[in-house]
Amino acid sequence: MSHSLGIDIGGTFTDIVVYDHARGRQLNRKVLTSHDDPARAVAAGVDALLRQHRLPAGEFTRVVHATTLFTNALIERRGAVTGLITTAGFADTLEIGRERKFELYDLNIARPEPLVPRHLRLEVAERLRADGAVARKLDAREVAARAKRLVDAGVTSIAVVFLHAYANPRHEAQAAALIARRHPEIAVTTSHEVAPEIREYERASTAVANAYIKPLARQYLDAMARRVAGLGIPAPLLLMLSSGGLTHVAEAERTPVQMLESGPAAGALAAAFFGRDDSRGHLLAFDMGGTTAKLSLVDGGEPLTAYAFEAARQKRFLEGSGLPIRISTIELIEIGAGGGSIATVDEIGLLKVGPRSAGSQPGPAAYGLGGTEPTVTDADFVLGYLNPDYFAGGEMRIDMAATRAALERLAARVKLPLTALAWGIHDVVNENMAGAARVHIAERGRDPRDYALLCTGGAGPVHAYYVARKLGLRQVICPPAAGVASALGLLVAPARVDRVATVGLRLDRDSGAVLEKAFRRLEHEARTVMADTGLKLDTATVRRLADGRFLGQGFDLVVDLPDGPYDDSPDCRRRLTTAFETAYRAKFALTPPDVPIEFINIRVAVRAPVAGAEVTVLGEGRGRGGAVKGTRPAYFPERRRFEETTVYDRVKLAPGEEIRGPAVLEEEGSTLVIGPGGVGHVAATGNIIVTLP
């Protein structure tokens, strides 16, 4: 017998899933996140699950973990005191950026503050040319002096970013070795290890972000590994990356910037997994937890991948308002809309919901932990969508008096009846999420009507029906155990290693053999990291990509390339040209005539299945007729009143059963709401597929 353990730490709840491979069953638990020590809540939750189901800790063969801790540290500026050592003349790169205003006519525009203040950005004499040739040797004594000055100023992490280090990493490696030798307690990040590609600002920003969270990552991941081992679980800890793959602790501690979007990536993988059989492969994954909502597109059964994103944006939908990070990540949009999002009134009297969240401490007023501000969860209780006696499977005591008091104070300010305010909060947060989805879909040239909405997270199924209505979607898919689906997504993820290199090759004149050699070097690096994870490389698959453009363009397009090997033959050039032009036309419709193509960067993504990732979740129906728990009043805007609504026990619904709205379907970690006119049916997979009127 063997078991796998998935742990997903969110801003409000920590989700824990155990999968029993012998019996094909899934065991879940939701606990409030302990922000002072996130590993404490994990240890308590896992221990309770082991005791409740009498699971032997020694039979666990895999532990996979995702967290939003590092993203939150960037957003909230809770990382290490970080210094930067860079090439003479380039200390202000982080501040100058691209010299683009993300809002052209805003006279009071606020750019994101650099993670390293000016007095901790120091320069040394060295210079490489664009081809990697040394123009001026590195002055080791100057590096030592700058490092000592930074350490004396209190830094605990140093980023080393030299001009053109992507072409020749020698100077960065020398500086890092010198700093590590003289100051072994200092965490050191070099840009060529984190983002070995052209464009100084983006490379510097990524390296500095990695340095900023590196001490926190090392401390946290070591503590988490100790906690898991302390429970008697012998399996090594694997970490979810932003790309949707897994890696081992040492690699995650070296480049923790790769984990910035690990939690949302798990949700997207879960959506692709659960929606595989009950959709046409086109899904809008909608994951709404206690603090944030995440939206991502799944096309052809795979989440879309991006190779850059912005962290800690000042303006959520405006490119250029955040810190550019050059890593592989599942493409998604994240907004401050969750169950804990706080409702307020702005200066002109309009109702606003989020992005500020009550989190888990003190949490919504309903939790009875001292929260006094009204939240989305409080509104959902008053509307009758959530059951105060069965919230989080009955593990939490709900204080309805505190819930009503919090909402009534706001209702008095806006001069609205309590029900109207509660629905207003629910509707505003739905519109926030629908608006984000419209932007995300439109930017990718897709039609939302081609997609089904697959909802996960504790709050996702509560809000999915009316979000889908706003988007004009016809179908909502709710998987079993939707509240902890992201944690299950961790258990179906493959191991993945991404590598990138700048090459600057023109297809019309440069050698295909040189391109092949560069790809083979990247693949070797990726396979070496994967071997350290303990996986058999004979199961690995390799995907080759390139950042290409037509000569003279100022932007790149990442495209898939045909399998190698590449050579100098006309057939090989034609295959590479066709691959780029096909992808270019798919995005822009036309290609310019007779313009050479150049590849700026090349990329590889090496993936391998992980033993124990064979997960099958089927409906647990126990026969017809036993699923109805009773009725309770719930508010539906179509009827403009509360209506006695049938409440179902989700676990007792059998495949093939039909549920006509209005209806509320409860399970341990989430609640699905179906509005009037909606019809749900239970698929063989255990998914509930809701057709909207």
What is the pLDDT averaged over residues 601-608?
93
* String of DSSP letters for 311-333: ES-SSTT-TTSSEEE-S-EE-EE
Structure confidence at residue 201 (pLDDT): 95
The whole-number pLDDT of residue 669 equals 84
Compute, in degrees rounded to 10, the torsion defined by CA atoms 53, 59, 62, 63.
50
pLDDT digit string, tens, across residues 448-496: 888 999 999 989 999 999 999 999 999 999 999 888 888 888 888 888 8
Instruction: List the structure tokens of 444.
Output: 């990718």
Query: How far are the Cα atoms of 77, 120, 315, 485, 514 from residue 321, in angstroms, in the given order?
Result: 16, 23, 6, 31, 38
For residue 1, is pLDDT > 70?
no
Among candidates 218, 226, 250, which has minimal Cα distance to 73?
Answer: 218
**Residue percentage of the chain with pLDDT more than 70:** 97
Specify the pLDDT at position 161.
Answer: 98
pLDDT for 487: 85
Region 67-73: what's the mean pLDDT? 84
- What pLDDT is recorded for position 619? 43
Which helix (H) or strand (E) segment holds residue 536: the answer is: none
Helix (DSSP H) and strand (DSSP E) numbers for the chain:
16, 35
Burial of residue 23 (number of CB atoms within 10 Å: 0-12, 13-18, 19+): exposed
Residue spans of beta strands (DSSP E) within 144-288: 157-161, 187-190, 237-240, 246-248, 283-288
Does the pLDDT value for residue 54 go beyond 60?
yes
CB 41 within 8 A of CB 227: no
**What are the tokens at 26?**
């899934």
pLDDT band at 282 (very low <50, low <70, confident <90, very high): confident
Contact 419, 251 (CB under 8 A): no
* DSSP 8-state code for residue 633: E
Q: Is the pLDDT of residue 620 over 70?
A: no
pLDDT band at residue 520 under the 50/70/90 scheme: very high
pLDDT, greater one: 39 or 153: 153
Look at 612 and 156; give whichever has higher pLDDT: 156
pLDDT at residue 444, as a whole number: 81
- Strand 663-666 relative to strand 293-299, pairing: unpaired
Residue 621: the pLDDT is 45
How would residue 613 be classed by pLDDT, with cut points 50, 70 and 90?
low
CA–CA separation, 465 and 692 (whole Å)? 8
pLDDT at 280 over 80: no
pLDDT of 622 > 70? The answer is: no
Please report which confidence band the pLDDT of residue 636 belongs to, taking 50, 70 and 90 as the band edges.
very high
* pLDDT score, position 614: 58
Contact between 282 and 450 (Cβ < 8 Å)? yes
Residue 112 confidence (pLDDT): 83
- Alpha-carbon distance values, 414 to 350, 366, 424 (Å): 8, 21, 11
Cβ-in-10-Å burial (0-12, 13-18, 19+) of 468 comes to: buried
Classify 648 as helix, strand or coil. Answer: strand
* Alpha carbons 88 and 177: distance in angstroms, whole number: 20
Among 242-246, 411-415, 471-475, 625-629, the minimum mean pLDDT is found in 625-629
Q: Is residue 29 helix, strand or coil?
A: strand
pLDDT band at 623 (very low <50, low <70, confident <90, very high): very low
Residue 148's pLDDT band (cuts 50, 70, 90): very high
CA distance 217 to 237: 14
pLDDT above 70: residue 317: no
pLDDT digit string (tens) for 354-376? 888 888 778 899 999 898 999 99
The pLDDT assigned to 322 comes to 86
What tokens appear for 334 in the block?
A: 């994240």
Average pLDDT over residues 333-341: 86
369 close to 362: Cβ distance less than 8 angstroms: yes
Q: What percentage of the chain reaches a pLDDT higher than 90?
A: 62
Q: Residue 301's pLDDT is what? A: 83
Which of helix, strand or coil describes residue 397? coil
Taking alpha carbons only, the member of 461, 464, 462 closest to residue 451 is 464
User: Bigger pLDDT: 361 or 234?
Assistant: 234
Residues 80 and 215 sit within 8 Å (Cβ to Cβ): yes
List the structure tokens of 379. 């509104």
pLDDT of residue 618: 47
Looking at 3.40.1710, 3.40.50, 1.20.58, 3.30.1490, the CATH number of the domain 495-608 comes to 3.30.1490
Q: What is the pLDDT of residues 71-101, one digit of tens each?
A: 888 877 889 999 999 999 999 999 998 877 8
> How many whole angstroms separate alpha carbon 668 and alpha carbon 687?
15
Residue 346 has pLDDT above 50, yes or no: yes
The segment(s) of the chain belonging to CATH 3.30.1490 are 495-608
Amino acid residing at 420: A
Tens digit of pLDDT for each residue in 13-38? 888 999 888 777 888 888 888 888 88
Q: pLDDT for 494-516, tens place per residue? A: 888 899 999 999 999 999 999 99
CB 144 within 8 A of CB 180: no
Is residue 615 very low, low, confident or very high in pLDDT (cuts 50, 70, 90)?
Answer: low
pLDDT over threshold 80, residue 533: no
CB atoms within 10 A of CB 593: 5
pLDDT of residue 279: 80
